[in-house]
Amino acid sequence: MTTVRLPPGPSAPRIVQGVFALTAPRRRMRRLRARYGDAFTINVPIFGRAAVICNPAEIKQLFTAGPDVVENLQPNLGRVLGPGSLFALTGDEHRGQRRLLTPPFHGRRLAAYERIIEEETVRELASWPEDRPFATLPSMMRITINAILRTVFTGGGANGDVAAGSLGVDLARLRELLPQAVTLGSRLLMLPVPQVDLGWWSPWGRFWAMRREYDAIVERLLAAAARDEKLDERDDVLALLLRSRYDDGSPMRHSDIADQLATLLAAGHETTATTLAWAVERLRRHPGVLRDLVAEMDAGGGALRAATIVEVQRTRPVIGLVGRHVKVDGYRLGRWTLPKGATVLAGISLLHADEAVFPDAGAFDPYRFLDTQPDLHEWVPFGGGTRRCLGAAFANMELNVVLRTMLRDFTLIPTTERDERWHFRGVAYAPAKGGRAVVRRRATRPGMADGAHMRAPQARAARWTERGTSEGSARPERAEACAGDTSTATAATSGATTATGGTTNSIRATTTP
């Protein structure tokens, strides 16, 4: 019989630890890390006893373990995104669906989506006020929801606001419905599912009503796309999924397409927008970096912008934990031996704050990533292994395009205000004041070749993203840095990673199916 060996941890009752997990998750995790080291065991409601690890070697081992050894944590976002979602699927079903969903978010198809994102960014930023503070998170939310809706349902075609007829009506309704459903669903994730649907009298009833409306809209869009004589020429994700086939030649079921689209829409929306709001918050408090970014952008470069996105995701990861469920008895994970059914949580925030991994880890220092690829088992905002965020490349590209467009069109005014606090929104940690900004519109920059500022950085981003779960890379060199703090995790977070994408020159954050 295998002897179980769990990391040490607090002995407080489960309910007490659960209260700390809900009320002060980041501070609690930091204190446990300081007391017990880079692995400790917690005991909280829903998950029970869970090993939290933030040792890079052990995280790498966890991420590279096969699905016959560890699988996605339960419960997860599959409870609200549907049984056909990548979050809910395991084993061969997960691999098959992931294979079908990968092509739309990699390679040359990404270039077709860049124009959509820039158009949505320009349109949204046109409403920004000058010389007075405002929260950027709502704007970033509108950019990302409009961009993912057009990417999924119209591709390079009609703008979501001017799409004709029933398509325009359906997209307008999805634009309203999805943010509400994502917010409510994420809050319900850890609550018991009732056996009776009480309708709008209960939170679950309200969520199920939203889901039924979403399913009806997607079914109409699928039916319309199937009748389209030019379906084979379309580049939107909906059309690509309708044309896709499993290895045996069978198509995806409409219910599975609806679940996967819900996953893409949810994961590709809030986490990316939140990362963009954090980028604004960080840059306003680091004027030297901001000044260098603007100068680089005006010169047509992008390396520092790519490094800045990586550093924002390191110091402000929107998801603090990613989890796995052990499927075999006596699983040896580094120094520990875990029983079948054990929960393991990889501490993204704790790993990113480790001085042994990132020297001067508390500093916001984009220069540490200039011309240096982060090790994808040390820098893990998108999780890792077979569950690494499917939309990482898309998210990275979206982050790059939005940030570049903002710096091109506006002067971001620095501030000496204190860092914004972390605020948990149910899916992601966001800046408490919404990434407040003060801006002034810039004069048009003459002589900048259209698209020239994107090509070289985009190519580097593709290389970083394609590395996926590579075995590692050189440790980033330390550079002179500005002050900033780091994030910690919440023990009440689900096992999904986020966020919704990333790497360097074009970076997002999404949740990881």
Total domains, the chain: 1
Pair of tokens at residue 247: 């290895």
Decide: 20 and 45 in contact? Cβ < 8 Å: no
Amino acid at 172: A
The whole-number pLDDT of residue 499 equals 32
How far, in Å, CA of 508 to CA of 389, rounded?
10
Decide: 509 and 391 in contact? Cβ < 8 Å: no
The whole-number pLDDT of residue 100 equals 78
The whole-number pLDDT of residue 489 equals 32
User: Is residue 504 situated within a structural domain?
Assistant: no
Long-range contacts of 93-97 (CB under 8 A, 24+ apart): 94/67, 94/386, 95/67, 95/386, 96/246, 96/247, 97/256, 97/260
Strands 321-326 and 436-437 come out as unpaired
User: How does DSSP classify residue 299?
Assistant: T
- Low-confidence residues of the chain, pLDDT below 50? 160-162, 446-513
User: Is residue 102 situated within a structural domain?
Assistant: yes
How far, in Å, CA of 75 to CA of 473, rounded?
33
Decide: 350 and 35 in contact? Cβ < 8 Å: no
Q: State pTM to two decimals.
A: 0.83
The whole-number pLDDT of residue 506 equals 32
For the chain, the helix, strand and coil percentages under 3-state DSSP, each to the nearest 5: 50, 10, 40
The whole-number pLDDT of residue 251 equals 87
The whole-number pLDDT of residue 76 equals 66
The whole-number pLDDT of residue 75 equals 62
User: Is residue 41 situated within a structural domain?
Assistant: yes
- Counting Cα atoms < 13 Å in the Cβ hemisphere of 292 gives 15
List C-alpha distances in Å: 419 to 29, 283, 316: 20, 11, 12
How far, in Å, CA of 226 to CA of 231, rounded?
7
User: Is residue 8 situated within a structural domain?
Assistant: no
CATH, residue 286: 1.10.630.10
User: Is residue 413 situated within a structural domain?
Assistant: yes
The whole-number pLDDT of residue 156 equals 58
User: Is residue 502 situated within a structural domain?
Assistant: no
Other beta carbons less than 10 A from residue 43's beta carbon: 20
The whole-number pLDDT of residue 93 equals 81
Pair of tokens at residue 213: 């409306």
The whole-number pLDDT of residue 129 equals 97
Name residue, tokens 């649907």.
Answer: 197
Length of the chain: 513
User: Is residue 498 situated within a structural domain?
Assistant: no
- For residue 195, give its domain range: 14-483
User: Is residue 495 situated within a structural domain?
Assistant: no
How far, in Å, CA of 243 to CA of 252, rounded?
9
